[in-house]
Amino acid sequence: MKVNVCIGSSCHLKGSYNVIQAFQQLIEENSLHDKVDFKATFCAKQCQNKGVTVSIDGEKYNVLPEEAREFFKSKVIPNI
């Protein structure tokens, strides 16, 4: 599964660093290194949307930093 988090200027200001930290922590806690291809990417062209842009296998979502852990648990873990 490919998971990308936007780190462009807008997403950076919206908290992309916090989303990345939460995802990295959950990948570690659940031993998902070999199942999740996790990367940061530059501008996803979703700047007008609320939250940080996260792409899972090409499908884009907008994630607020305070919801990152729940998002990962509901969208990533069940689909691995």
pLDDT value of position 41: 97
Alpha carbon of residue 43 to chain centroid: 13
Residue 56: CB atoms within 10 Å:
17
Question: Residue 42 carries which DSSP code?
Answer: S
Q: What phi, psi does 7 have (nearest 5°)?
A: -120, 20
Domain ranges of the chain: 2-75
The answer to whether 52 touches 64, Cβ cutoff 8 Å, is yes
Asked if CATH classification 3.30.565.10 holds for the domain at 2-75, the reply, yes or no, is: no
Q: What is the mean pLDDT of each run of 10 residues along the chain (80 residues)?
A: 98 98 98 97 95 98 98 97
